[in-house]
Amino acid sequence: NFTGENGLTYRFKSISLDTLGNLEKKGTYDTEMRVDMENPKSTLWLAEGDLEFTNLDGVTIKWKPGDNSSDILEYFIEYRIVGDESWEDLGSFTSIGEYWFSPEIEGQYEIRSRTVDFAGNSEDKDSGDVSLTFDRVKPSLTLAAIDSLTGGEDLILAIEYTSENLSQIKLEYARLPEGTEDVLVWDSIDEEWDNGTMEIRNLVDGYTYYFRINPVDLASNENPKHPLEFTLLWNSNMTTIELPAVPLKPVTIGKIRNMELTVDEDLDGVYERTLEEFTGTDLGAMKANQYWVDYDNARVIFGDGTDGYLPPTNSSISIVYHAYDLITTIDTTPAQSVEIIEYLVEDRNNVTITWEKPQDATSFIIENRKNFTTPWIAIDTTESLEYHVTNLSSGYHYYRIISVDRMGYTNSEMEGEMMEIFIEAEIIPSTVDSGSEKIAPELYLAAVVLLAVAASSAFYMLRGREQDLQPEGSVLVPVEVESPSEQISEDADETKSVFSVKAGSEFSKQVIFICEIGCQSEFSGDDDDEEIMCPHCGMIGDTPLTGK
């Protein structure tokens, strides 16, 4: 046995000796041997660079000897899915080379090279030289639904679901004046997402905003909406296709039709059947090669094979169309106020109030109050353009109509600020009992008239007689003289006014009177009237305004 030192080369020769004592002479050696007890090393890398994720179909693997490993006999190239214990063989090679690696299954893979040298030493690696994730699937992302109408507050977009980790989320928007249809012009929003939410500011009132999102995963796969492409397998239980995003109407992309739909009827990988979009509304009029797009509910509706196309069972359908994710209309302006309003009094104390519909109003709040010092009280809401009030008491009643728009914004700036309705006091005829019978007031009126005529006749007769009996010349007539205090008292009673003016209101738009002699209540009146009446107690008197 011979024990050598690693890394040294030993030469050996044999020298023979015969029976006569002659010794063989050799000028060289018979053989040599190098002691090699080190395992060989190899290096493996990707020609595409240092990748962690890729959406490529495959990558190019390259290998070569490691440092001080020039005596490699064979290379073994192996791979496995991360998490598996065993390695799969890609092949063995005797020299430096390369290999196209294209796995069918998505996932994270480890790839390694192992070697054996001429001394029989073998390379051992517990892990791969390269770790690479193959991801050729488009990411999916869903935004949380938003209201179709947005008020004055900022709009918040929130991510509801993502299929995987993303490297970027691209968000775009387009807008049109509400109620219009035209080609959309898209712009990017460069705001940063904060824990899955984004606040959209400076939205313009009266515009409808469209939003579309494009997620990008770590392998650089994107899932844009311009256009959106996806395929699905049709089965016999299906009648419609629920689209992953809302299709845009053709006018908004400047085309006659938005959707391209083809069918691979026999699953041979060739989508040989091209269908036509039906643009009518009567689905019974569809042809055998047509389908209908429900743009409002993001659906594709097929027919029965006669009236519209019916896909064969287990066929593959490819759909390509332009889409968006969310839509909302900005509304920060209240409805117009009620401008044209009138009322009609029926049966003395029943009132019908009517008005014309203001712009953007969807409903109305009816309010009233007793007088100018009491607050307004909401008594009803209605979507009608008229309101009925019955059995009103006599006097003044005050109403106003508040317009309400679809957002719930209110506008109380009614024309004239309010509506003033006056209900006249009811005159109830009375009767007088006479024994067991009742005498109607008409008979009293007739009797009063007759008595007045009789008294007038008697007056003229007596006046004639007095003129005949009057003496000639001067006659002394006694005169009763009133005391000064009695005269002042009577003058004060005569000058005391029934009503007074509330201090300061004579200079305002609405004059407020106070019923001094009656109920002491306040009420409004017209400063052009010479005579006014208290709506609370019915007291009537001259206006206290100067010059009336």
pLDDT tens sequence across 352-368: 999 999 999 999 999 99
Cα(307)–Cα(301) distance, rounded to whole angstroms? 11
Q: Are 401 and 385 in contact (CB under 8 A)?
A: no
Find all residues with CB under 8 Å of 311, minimum gap 6, and list them: 234, 263, 265, 302, 317
pLDDT at 421 over 60: yes
Q: Record the tokens describing residue 219, joined without a space.
A: 């392998």
User: Do 350 and 388 contact (CB within 8 A), yes or no?
Assistant: yes
Confidence of residue 271 (pLDDT cuts 50, 70, 90): very high
Q: What pLDDT does residue 99 have?
A: 96
CATH homologous superfamily of 42-134 equals Immunoglobulins (2.60.40.10)
Tell me the per-residue pLDDT of 515-526, one tens digit each, with 9 for 90 and over.
887 778 888 877
When comparing pLDDT for 442 and 542, which is higher?
542
- Other C-beta atoms closer than 10 Å to the C-beta of 472 total 5
Assess whether pLDDT exceeds 70 at residue 433: no
One-letter amino acid at 377 equals I
Closest C-alpha to 87, from 58, 107, 114, 48: 114
* Percent of the chain whose predicted confidence (pLDDT) is above 70: 86
Q: How far apart are CA 410 and CA 401, in angstroms?
A: 10
Do the domains spanning 42-134 and 341-423 agree at the CATH topology level?
yes
**Predicted confidence band at 76 (pLDDT cuts at 50, 70, 90)?**
very high
DSSP state letters, 427-487: -----EEETTEEE-HHHHHHHHHHHHHHHHHHHHHHHHHHHHHPPSS------PPPPHHHH
Rounded to the nearest 5 degrees, what angle is found at the Cα of 232, between the Cα atoms of 229 and 235?
Answer: 155
Give the 3-state DSSP-derived string for 393-424, with helices as H, strands as E and coil as C: CCEEEEEEEEEEECCCCEECCCCCCCEEEEEC
Token pair in block for residue 346: 């029926």
Q: How high is the pLDDT of residue 486?
A: 46
d(CA 293, CA 302): 9
Q: Residue 507 — very low, low, confident or very high, per pLDDT cuts 50/70/90? A: low
Q: How far apart are CA 97 and CA 93, in angstroms?
A: 8
Decide: helix, strand or coil at residue 8.
Answer: coil
> CA 243 from chain center: how many Å?
21
pLDDT for the residue numbered 467: 46
Assess contact for 246 and 228: CB atoms under 8 A.
no
pLDDT of 228 above 50: yes
What pLDDT, on a 0 to 100 scale, did the predictor assign at position 27? 83
Cα–Cα distance for residue pair 370/373, rounded to 1 Å: 8
**Burial class of 20 by CB neighbour count within 10 A (0 to 12, 13 to 18, 19+):** exposed
Asked if 439 and 431 touch (Cβ cutoff 8 Å), the reply is: yes
Categorize the per-residue pLDDT at 451 as very low, low, confident or very high, splitting at 50, 70 and 90. Answer: low
Element (H, E) at 10: strand 9-12
pLDDT band at 285 (very low <50, low <70, confident <90, very high): very high
Q: What is the pLDDT of residue 488?
A: 42
| Range 164-196 burial, b when 16+ CB lie within 10 A, else e | eebeebebbbbbbeeeeeeebeeeeeeeeeeee
Range scoring the smallest mean pLDDT among 60-74, 278-292, 452-466: 452-466
Contact of 128 with 45, CB cutoff 8 Å? no
With cut-offs at 50, 70 and 90, classify the pLDDT of residue 527.
low
Range of weakest confidence among 114-123, 218-227, 510-519? 510-519
- 481 has pLDDT over 80: no
Give residue-wise pLDDT tens across range 78-132: 999 999 999 999 999 999 999 999 999 999 999 999 999 988 899 989 899 999 9
Which residue would you say has higher pLDDT here, 290 or 503? 290
Q: Length of the chain, please?
A: 548
Domain residue spans of the chain: 42-134, 141-217, 229-329, 341-423, 496-542
Q: What is the pLDDT of residues 294-346, one digit of tens each?
A: 999 999 999 998 899 999 999 999 999 999 999 999 999 999 999 999 999 99
In this prediction, residues 269-280 reach a mean pLDDT of 94
Amino acid at 74: E
Arithmetic mean of pLDDT, 456-483: 44
Residue 262 is encoded by which pair of tokens?
A: 């083809």
Weakest mean pLDDT among 36-40, 92-96, 105-109, 405-409: 36-40
Residue 285: alpha-carbon gap to chain centroid: 36
Q: Which of 492, 496, 501, 497 is nearest to 545 (CA)?
A: 501
Average pLDDT of the residues of the chain: 85
How many angstroms separate the CA atoms of 83 and 199, rounded? Answer: 41
Kindly state the percentage of the chain with pLDDT values over 90.
59
Which amino acid is residue 380, in one-letter code?
A: D
pLDDT at 287 over 90: yes
Average pLDDT rounded to a whole number, residues 185-204: 93
Residue 173 banded pLDDT, cuts 50, 70, 90: very high
Which pLDDT does position 350 carry in this prediction?
93
Tell me what pLDDT residue 543 has. 83
**Architecture field, domain 341-423:** Sandwich (2.60)
pLDDT of residue 474: 41
